[in-house]
Chain A
Amino acid sequence: MTDSHNHSFKDWAVEQLEFYGGVTLLTRDCLREGFRKPHYWGLLTEQIYQIGVKSFPLVLVTSATIGAVMSLQFGYGLEKFGGKPYVPRLVASTIFREIGPMFTSLMLAARVGAGMASEIGSMVVTQQIDAIRALGTSPIKKIVLPRIIACLIILPLLVAMANVIGNTGGWLIGVNELGLDPQFYYRRALDTANIRDYLAGFGKTFFFSLFISIPSCYFGLTVKNGTQEVGMATRKAVVTSSLMILIGDFFLGKVFWMLEKWL
């Protein structure tokens, strides 16, 4: 291995350690500050609006399209085996368990994670974070916590909506393209996709909320030298959040299966 390879590996390793250490410290600070007064409910409400209400159109289009595409692909794919009647079950359980939570979270990571990192990074560059501290207030309470809590509240709600919209998209295609009976599709989806499917997906969303908000705030807060770093922080926030969601999805999926067996 050459010196430059050694050097870049060392830089990468240091960066990783800084990230895990920084995120741990940020989480610790959030837990400490979260229980202390004052609580900024107004800022939380504003973030719920920014993160939730403004993300809804994106979630609507994404989940409806994915439901429709899944229904179409499963329908045509299973047609030759006479498996069309299984489409409602397949679409519903896949959306509940995997696609609904994961795609909604990825959309939020792209839209909200990038927004958080760039907004906080810009505040660092323009010394607004320093000003918050210099005026005797806490950037954790004023900036970080409202975003994390808003994500924890909003993502599960968006996923619940994405599940309904995705299945509606699947139903529309099932009825209009695959020729399935509307009542049959509806009942089949409700009968076979159980509450466990729903909860397995829903439970993941709380972890995904943290995977989006904490790294995004961390990368924003660690911007140091100018606007170029704001762009880098934004990119890192989206990549890291997305990777954590994708990798976390596998492990959380496994954990929820184990829990179901145990229960």
Chain B
Amino acid sequence: MAIIEVKNFHKSYGTKSVHEGVSLYVKKGECLGLVGGSGTGKSVLLRSLIGLEKADSGEIFIEDINVTHFSERQWQEIRKKVAYAFQGGALFDSMTVFQNLAYPLIEHSKFSPQEIQQKVSAQLKDFGLEGSEKLYPNELSGGMQKRVGLARAMMLEPDIILYDEPTAGLDPYNTRNIQDLIQKLKKKGVTSILVTHDMPTAFAVCDKFAFLKDKVIKEQGTAEQLKDQNDSLIHQFIQGNIL
């Protein structure tokens, strides 16, 4: 069963068309790598899956529910089980790391302050961020901000996670950590879409790929299936020659 399904998705900004009939699906527990050149609208598509952008036409289904024309209020319910990991972390700069991580729990759970404290501490440990509770985002390195953003997105243990370039700008050690985290979540049955230019990470964690080109999904399938295609650009992507 497809947990995420996009049918004939169109999106444009003014006269600039970004998507002209994008269709894709992701099954439960799968990790889909959404790849393509810069400026092909990967992030726009990802943002549309959580209602941060509205489709001009087409349909988006999350767990078989047509969410295309959902109001902001209805999206709020969906967003409790679909997390979005922003490229730069998008941390609240007036809050400490602890407050950033506690935010989703305070808003959507009935945990006591002690339980929230425990959960945040455990999450910080999982992400190798111990000792940073009292720091503000501007006191963190870029890589740490990204990890705090990821940790915050996962606080509510969502069913679906949308990763927007989670390893961009990270050193090999932290890249490996993020890969391990995505793998760990996959084992728990979390469905995910990974937008990335980092092909080693994509190959390490993704079950299949959707290749975005010329405003549509050119190909969707496993790495092996994509290798069988004749498109040289897809081959170069698969071989990691174009990043």
Contact = CB atoms under 8 A, between A and B. Distances in A.
B80 interface: yes
A130 B53 CA distance: 10
A135 B107 contact: yes
Contact of B103 (A38, A130, A135): A135
Contacts, number: 48
A136 B105 CA distance: 11
Interface in B51-88: 51-52, 72, 75-77, 79-80, 83-84, 86, 88
Given A136-B80, A136-B104, A136-B107, A131 B72 contact: no
A130 B52 contact: yes
B91 interface: yes
Contacts of A38: 107
Interface string B19-63: 000000000000000000000000000010011100000000000
A148 B52 CA distance: 24
Given A134-B50, A135-B79, A136-B77, A128 B90 contact: yes
B108 A136 contact: yes
A137 interface: yes
B115 interface: no
Interface in A113-132: 126-128, 130-131
B92 interface: yes
B108 A127 contact: no
B90 A131 contact: yes
B79 A136 contact: yes
Contact of B76 (A126, A128, A130, A138): A138
Given A126-B90, A127-B90, A134 B84 contact: yes
Chain B interface size, as a band, is 20 to 34
Contacts of A196: none
Contacts of B92: 128, 131
B180 interface: no
A128 B138 CA distance: 14
Nearest to B79: A136
Interface residues of A, number: 12
Contacts of B72: 133, 138
Contacts of A130: 47, 52, 86, 90
B104 to A, nearest CB: 5
Nearest to A29: B72
Contacts of B77: 136
B93 A128 contact: yes
B75 to A, nearest CB: 8
Contacts of A136: 76-77, 79-80, 104, 107-108
A144 to B, nearest CB: 13
A133 B86 CA distance: 12
Nearest to A140: B72
Contact of B86 (A131, A137, A138): A131
* 9 tightest Cβ-Cβ pairs between the two chains A and B: A127-B90, A131-B90, A136-B79, A134-B84, A136-B80, A136-B76, A135-B104, A137-B107, A130-B52
10 contacts: A128-B91, A131-B92, A133-B72, A134-B52, A134-B84, A135-B104, A135-B107, A136-B80, A136-B108, A138-B76
